[in-house]
Amino acid sequence: MAELNGNPVTLDDLQTLALTNYGHFTTMRMEDGTVRGLSLHLDRLVRDCRIVFGVELDRQRTLNHIRQAADGVTGVAALRVTVFDPALDLTRPSAAQNPHILVNVRPAGALTPPPLTAKTFTFTRDNAEVKHIGIHPQLKLRRDAQLAGFDDAVFVEPDGRVSEGATWNLGFVDQQGTVIWPAAPALPGTTMLLLQSLDTPKQITAQVRLTDVPGMAAAFATNVSIGVRTVSALDDVRFPQDHPVLAALRDAYAGIPGERL
């Protein structure tokens, strides 16, 4: 199910999105009409619209479109909100100043899927702080990782700093049980921000270089689709699948109340 500015979407509506691939989005998980971090998702849409289109997105109008698209949906669902300008011309992207709001509703998978393995690549996403729709490079590296026998890709800066996963934030647990969020160019994920708001366990943001990884006690991935997912291997470094700090993070995340749409 999809709606554009509150109306059923047509193929013509989607043509510009398919052909230009310029815009930004956020994806949220709705559980019985509530969304963890709903305000953070709206903050992201407004912030990214300023960066991508140079205009102020109407927050309340956006929320109204989300509510309308989700009306009558029960249980668990994924809501993706994509902001793009159907009038965008490849030769004059600077003229695109009338962003539209596309809301897709689809089934959501289980929270906290099985542990994953990841292969590292030297790579930095363009505009890493923006959740933009130009994800070909990330998917290409995810494909390369899978062809090499791993589940996904992790990005590393040229100077050796570990940053993020292909479509998720990466965290580590050190030998003292402290959660470490890598300090490097990365998307500030809503799940990561919610976890960082917790009083426990102890959390810090610090540089993690590839050479530091073997000394870590555990690693994990986070986004709205997976919650807190164990990373059981990063390249040839193996991590436990059931570290107690990760269990504590999952329990704490599950206890964060959702915001009513």
Q: Which domains does the chain have, with CATH numbers?
A: 2-107 (3.30.470.10), 116-255 (3.20.10.10)
What does the pLDDT look like over 153-200, one tens digit per residue?
999 999 999 999 999 999 999 999 999 999 999 999 999 999 999 988
Distance, first Cα to last Cα, the chain: 18
Q: How confident is the model at residue 247 (pLDDT cuts 50, 70, 90)?
A: very high
Cis peptide before 201, with omega less than 30 degrees from 0? yes
- What secondary structure does DSSP assign to 228-252, as a single string? EEEEEEETTEE--S--HHHHHHHHH
pLDDT at 21 over 80: yes
Contacts of 14 (CB under 8 A, 6+ apart): 102
Q: How confident is the model at residue 90 (pLDDT cuts 50, 70, 90)?
A: confident
pTM of the model: 0.94
Q: How confident is the model at residue 150 (pLDDT cuts 50, 70, 90)?
A: very high
Q: For position 89, what pLDDT does the model report?
A: 85
Average pLDDT over residues 65-87: 95
Q: For position 136, what pLDDT does the model report?
A: 95
User: What are the helix (H) ranges across the chain?
Assistant: 11-20, 38-53, 59-70, 136-147, 190-196, 244-254
Q: For position 18, what pLDDT does the model report?
A: 87
